[in-house]
Amino acid sequence: MPVPSLALLARWIVPVEPENVVLEDHALVVQGDSIVELLPQRQLDSRHPGIQREELGNCVLIPGLVNCHTHSAMALMRGLADDLPLIRWLEDHIWPTEQRWVGPEFVRAGTELAVAEMLAGGTTCFNDNYFFPDVTAATASRAGMRAVIGLPVISLPTAWAETEDEYFARGLQVHQDLVSDPLMTTAFAPHAPYTVSDSAFARMVELAEEMDVPIHLHLLEAKGEIEGSRERYGKHPLDRLAALGVLGPRLLAVHMTQLEPVDMDRVARAGVHVLHCPASNLKLASGICPVAELDRRGVNIAIGTDGAASNNTLDMFAEMRLAALLAKGFSGDPEAIPAARALSMATLNGARALGLEDSIGSLRAGKQADVVAVKLDRMETLPVHHVVSQLVYACSRHQVHKVWIAGQNVYQAGSCVRLDQAAVASRAREWARRLRHDHPVESQP
């Protein structure tokens, strides 16, 4: 048996599985890309004599955060069209910008910027939904980041594909090309019920079953969606998706702000995963996902940031905190979504939704060593009465100290190990100059 290669020693370890457990003065032992065991530090010498140690002091080790819904390349549109309702934001600003500018160079630069931001904030896996997914995958892989790459499907021509057949053909090729990359998996990424045809959904369901991948869909995001579906299809969106075979455990339903109690029951029975994006929904005034009620029904709820164009950050610490607070305020129950459940939503629940529960989402022997060290010795997180509460309610992403993905150190000392951050920033500024011609602003920071 190979000798374990590294022991991470920290004041606390929060394995997430089981929920709300805190291990004090423990070590996490890594061999290659995997976790071997968690054990008290006093036992380390006897069990693993001579092992390389990394002393992390007053840090807490947590599983890497899983950003379960984002459009990474849209980081280049951060702040481009703020303070607008969803439809005006999309139709008057985002879609025209995409039609004019989106291509491989745009997606590469935007994904680099997003990956750098996410790694610095302790996110080790993101579930992406955007055009040119081959470029997104290559960019994330170069940075050593784990990703679920969306295969776009939309019944409209875009820079990525002209017809439904082309969307499927190109998506299937991307899926095939990524089979050998251990950090990459795929999901079908239809945009929304109102932009995807019945025939495309039916074909997607069949292929998703064959390929064993999820279906990642914006659903029930805004008030007009239900009325529009009834006018166009004569059905509530959930009825239409059920008839097409989409409503089931492969479905990753993003937003879900327009749910009645009967809808929540139906979603729970079908095993649908809900991807909650609280900041984006609030900023666009799209509505509020009834997270506490869904949680009580046993629905698996994961957290996403959405794209930086509508958030405007990719900060999973902020999103986790907001998810917990919003659930309490919206439900009127201060016990709704306690800190430990919010942390699960940002880690293990996301892994479960993506079909990666056996590999990531918690610190357990046999899983991939996707690990984040967070400093808790700053003024704003002292004193530490309850580690999990501090992580959710007080901690900032700027307290992320080190990040490992598959056992490889990818972030430390304020820098992404595999990215030239100066070059990433330079490309982002160049794209800002191009986009500003279409969206003039009064001043540039």
CA distance 351 to 347: 6
Q: Which fold has domain 6-63+367-416?
A: Urease, subunit C; domain 1 (2.30.40)
- 33 phi and psi, to 5 degrees? -100, 5
Render each residue's pLDDT in the chain as its tens digit; 445 residues. Answer: 455 689 999 999 999 999 999 999 999 999 999 999 999 999 999 999 999 999 999 999 999 999 999 999 999 999 999 999 888 998 999 999 999 999 999 999 999 999 999 999 999 999 999 999 999 999 999 999 999 999 999 999 999 999 999 999 999 999 999 999 999 999 999 999 999 999 999 999 999 999 999 999 999 999 899 999 999 999 999 999 999 999 999 999 999 999 999 999 999 999 999 999 999 999 999 999 999 999 999 999 999 999 999 999 999 999 999 999 999 999 999 999 999 999 999 999 999 999 999 999 999 999 999 999 999 999 999 999 999 999 999 999 999 999 999 999 999 989 999 999 999 999 999 999 999 876 654 434 4
The CA-based angle 195-67-202, given to 5 degrees, is 30
Pair type for strands 23-31 and 6-13: antiparallel
Q: What is the pLDDT of residue 5?
A: 87
Tokens of 317: 């610490």
Residues 6+ apart with CB under 8 A from 368: 33, 34, 35, 146, 359, 360, 405, 406, 407
Q: What is the pLDDT of residue 85?
A: 87
Q: What is the pLDDT of residue 438?
A: 65
CA distance 434 to 437: 6
Contact assessment for residue 415 and residue 367, using Cβ atoms and an 8 Å cutoff: no
List the CATH code of the domain at 65-353: 3.20.20.140
Q: What is the pLDDT of residue 4?
A: 66
Tokens of 416: 């992404």
Pure H helices in 360-407:
387-389
Contact assessment for residue 41 and residue 104, using Cβ atoms and an 8 Å cutoff: no
Q: What is the CA radius of gyration of the chain?
A: 21
DSSP SS3 for 171: helix
The enclosing H or E element of 343 equals helix 339-345
Contact assessment for residue 39 and residue 47, using Cβ atoms and an 8 Å cutoff: yes
Tokens of 174: 């991307």
Q: What is the pLDDT of residue 1?
A: 46
**Of 50, 48, 49, 44, whose CA–CA distance to 10 is shortest?**
44
In the chain, where the domains are located? 6-63+367-416, 65-353
**Of 258, 303, 309, 259, whose CA–CA distance to 278 is shortest?**
303
**What is the number of other CB atoms lying within 10 angstroms of the CB of residue 408?**
16
